[in-house]
Structure 1
Amino acid sequence: MKQNFTVRHGALDGVETFLSVARHRSFRRAAAALGVTPSAVSQSVRSLEARIGAALLIRTTRSVGLTEAGQRFLDRAGPAFDELVAASEAARDLGQRPAGLLRLAVPRSVVPLILEPVIASFCDAYPEIELEIAASDEMVDIAAGGFDAGIRLGELIAADMVVVRLTPPFPFVVVGSPDYLRRHGAPAQIEDLRGHACLRLRRWSGAIAPWTFATGNEVIEAMVAGPLIAHDYPTLLGSAIQGLGLAQVPGPIAEAAIADGRLQRLLTPFAVMTPGVFLYHSGKRQMLPKLRAFIDHVKAPRRADAAPGDQASIR
């Protein structure tokens, strides 16, 4: 039969008082150290002895000593109580300054877009923070996974999370290399994709993501085909640069390759906009200074372009 080792409610009441009396060998000096009256100290110790079922102290008009039970209790409870105090101070320290392990759950595509430009400067600015980045496209329960926060596209965040905007809205773009377009031509309409090699993304759920487009106020999905299925956008982007086919990727991760001519944007009139990238966490009351420092640091280069307010509602 499984034993129940749960500490009874109130079991720790009076322990600090007893330890103070035992260490000072005086009710009066213990009361002064604790900031209470000697009678309150005496009552607290008597209650503790009653719960334990044994006398812990020998009291005379001249001195205070320990019974055998009291000595055993002091030998084991003293170090344990000191550990509790140290644990409280360690936890309080993390609540007062940016320090400790900061764990973030992040999609692979967001790492080059959001994190790579700021990792080094953040670690330099906050040497007491250890930054751990778990890059995965799987949807993660940040509380169950022990993460301080996650980063996702806005439409993929649970409604009960507090969200902080990290980027403005941006389009999903179709791109192809000049070499591919010389060999196969450029699609002018969405229907033209049937004749092209389209590189596709498999979502964390196992489904292959359709390509999404906007026509007027309507969003449509196109089922495409091609030689490659990848699990992250950087792989699709790299394969498109190599001329394997066309790819549909978040606009910001393709900007550099478009700017230097390695890729060309296609089907621009049909590009669909996304809400942008957001950091999400479980609530203001649970935000430690280490997370606040990270949010402020990541948002700093974008403050000039950010909308008013730190937090953005995406619902």
Structure 2
Amino acid sequence: MTTTTVTPGAASGTFILGGDVEVNRLGYGTMHLAGPGAWGAGRDRDEAIRVLRRAVELGVTFFDTADVYGPFVTDELIRTALHPYPDELVIGSKVGSSNQGAGKWAPIGRPEYLRQQTLLNLRHLGLERVDLLQLHRIDPQVPLEDQIGELKSMQDEGLVRHVGLSEVSVDEIKAASAITQIVSVQNRFNLADRASEDVLDYCTAEGMAFIPWFPLAYGKLARPGGILASLASKYDRSPSQLALAWLLRRSGAILPIPGTSSVRHLEENMESARIDLTDNEFDMLSALGRAETEKGTR
């Protein structure tokens, strides 16, 4: 009799984007494969390719990239490592920001720019259609209907399957949803930063994916003798793994995309899907993180 080993990716559960694209919930974010501040190439191209291939072996089916990562450094790495893509692999990308040097980004939402960057994304990735295209930032200088309208036009042309948003409020999600279906939102959210909790709750209620960026942050919560440190010791896991386990438990709509440029760290992150927090442990971490968030807003 043969035994099938469940990958960590599969152990994280699944989510269906837009009603027709199924992904394993624990994905991978590629930004760390570019250079510092997402500018230029990363330090070790061979290791980056190993990371991407190992992620697939570990059950990752959702990869997050963007035109500004490099620019296009991560797109090229994904294509080199994984093309031709497995049928179950889903790539989400973003347009709507410009990269002007390490950590120097600015929103650009002009329709012609959004189209240009989408076409370049497709070329660098070796795709005819991107499964998920998110507006990286709303450009306050351009009417929202022009920005989302261009994404919808490309969707109608078959260049884009589904549309998402990044760093938005509930009201902005509602406004964009009046133009086309929004299937995902990518906001900063983690154990120690709950500023987007209302957005998460809205996405959960509406059946949208919530993709937290910077998911591994836990601030000062791992101080010696604290709850997070104690639980990490109990499970023989790292605080980062518990932070990811908490996200996976917080809502079935959450698709964490922890990024790393190391195979060892990738494997460590993925094992978080096997941590089964008790109700009491989840509640303690939730309360601890909420107190940290409230403290930071004072």
TM-score by length of 1: 0.21
Task: Answer 1 or 2: which has greater strand percent.
Answer: 1
